[in-house]
Amino acid sequence: MSQSVEIFEMGPRDGLQNEKRAIPVAEKIALVDCLSRAGFRRIEVASFVSPKWVPQMAGSGEVLAGISRAPGVSYAALTPNMRGYTDAVAAGADEIAVFASASEGFSRANINASITESIERFKPILQAAAAIKLPVRGYVSCVTDCPFDGPTDPDQVALVAETLHLLGCYEVSLGDTIGQGTPETISKMLSAVTKRVPVSHLAGHYHDTSGRALDNIEASLAQGVRVFDAAVGGLGGCPYAPGAAGNVATEAVQDHLVGLGYETGLDRDVLVEAAEMAQAMRSDS
Ligand code: HMG
Ligand code: MG
């Protein structure tokens, strides 16, 4: 098994979408430009969702227009529907992502659709993207626990992940959206999913609400997962405030992976710089 692990940087999207303060586009651009020097291959920088639902992501087109694109870096955007897809393509996103849930409660709360309806919404996006050879990533949320429906059945995660894979998502990112997963529940979930989707097409996306994200990453490494989503500075919540954590912090994942003997290709000094920048952008800083 390869000793190389990729971290997909989420800070400018998953991190900033949770901030209470309206962050100026110039600050978002400065963060992305700093991250572009760190050695990431993929950075999620934008989200073309309804500004009524997520006002923090308004201005995503301006962010994509304003950043200095580093060669070899793919700048990604979330697209919940065809409107978002059209806007993302017009803004020059290098890849897009559709996002589904393994639980009905979160699907309804997040995108106002059942799981089945959301998949139907994604089909034309995947067809249109295939026609212009635009890579599409897929997310499955609530892979172990849902804030509305409780524990998630691993077979249900496997079914949704397989559906996205078969529709053409080049990678499916498995989200512990509320950070309640444990190494045991993550391992059970992965055992079910890897029966239906090759592990080389999977990524782990773990929020750190309970401080177990690094343990969950280690459990996932043991099952062959080699891509993990993370956000510099633990953006999206405070890693020191129980119950308020967001994405697992990129610099913590980097240090943990290096400690385990994996290579990420990232420049730690730039990560620290970006983490300080991200911390300064927080509402509570
Ligand atoms: P809806 O209200 O059912 O949709 O929302 P609608 O078609 O009735 O549209 C409502 C209004 O939004 C309309 O405007 C539309 O034009 C507009 P109005 O006529 O009222 O003025 N609209 C849009 N505007 C801009 N861009 C668009 C767009 N679509 C409609 N693309 C909808 C359905 C999907 C749009 C909504 O529920 C939505 O935007 N949800 C996004 C929620 C979200 O972004 N959540 C966070 C990202 S997911 C996540 O964080 C999880 C992840 O990190 C993995 C994990 O951790 O598990 C990925
Ligand atoms: Mg997330």
Mean residue pLDDT across the chain: 94
CA 167 from centre of chain: 19
Ligand showing the shortest atom-to-Cα distance for residue 142: 1
Residue 130 half-sphere exposure toward CB, CA atoms < 13 A: 11
| Residue of 257, 271, 269, 244 lying closest to 19 (CA atoms) | 244
The pLDDT tens digits of the residues spanning 2-61 come to 599 999 999 999 999 988 888 999 999 999 999 999 999 999 999 999 999 999 999 999
The yes-or-no answer on residue 238 being catalytic is: yes
| pLDDT at site 237 | 54
User: Of 18-22, 151-155, 259-263, where does mean pLDDT reach its minimum?
Assistant: 18-22
**Parallel, antiparallel or unpaired: strands 150-151 and 145-146:** antiparallel
The tokens 């890849």 sit on which residue?
Answer: 95
Output the CA 196–ligand 2 centroid distance in Å: 23
Q: Name the DSSP class of 247.
A: B
Model confidence pLDDT, tens digit, residues 115-145: 999 999 999 999 999 999 999 999 999 999 9
In this structure, are residues 11 and 250 in contact, taking their beta carbons and an 8 Å threshold?
yes
77-124 pLDDT, tens digit each = 999 999 999 999 999 999 999 999 999 999 999 999 999 999 999 999
Pull the structure tokens for residue 245. Answer: 């954590």
Closest by CA position to 43, among listed 5, 94, 3: 94
The structure's pTM equals 0.96
Check residue 18 and give its pLDDT: 85
> Which pLDDT belongs to residue 178?
92
The pLDDT value recorded for residue 285 is 58
Question: What one-character DSSP code corresponds to residue 148?
Answer: T
Question: What pLDDT was estimated at residue 121?
Answer: 98
Average pLDDT over residues 137-155: 96
Ligand 1 atom nearest to 143, measured from its CA:
57
Q: How far is the CA of 75 from the centre of ligand 1 (A)?
A: 20
Task: Report the pLDDT value the prediction gives residue 245, as an integer from 0 to 100.
Answer: 67
Token match 């090759």: residue? 198
| pLDDT at site 235 | 86
**Ramachandran bin of 233, using left for φ above 0, alpha for ψ from -120 to 50, beta for the remaining angles:** left
Tell me which residues have their CB within 5 A of the ion that is ligand 2: 14
pLDDT reading at 174 higher than 70:
yes
Q: How far apart are CA 180 and CA 208, in angstroms?
A: 8
The C-alpha angle 106, 108, 114, rounded to 5 degrees, equals 110
Return d(Cα 98, Cα 85) in angstroms, integer.
Answer: 9
Ligand 1 binding pocket, CB closer than 6 Å: 14, 17, 47-50, 52-54, 78, 80-81, 83-84, 99, 110-112, 139, 141, 175, 177, 205, 207
Task: State the ipTM, two decimals.
Answer: 0.98
Q: What is the pLDDT of residues 223-240, one digit of tens each?
A: 999 999 999 999 875 433
- Model confidence at 244: pLDDT above 60: no
Residue 238's pLDDT is 41
How many residues belong to the chain? Answer: 285
- pLDDT at position 22 is 86
pLDDT over 60 (residue 71): yes
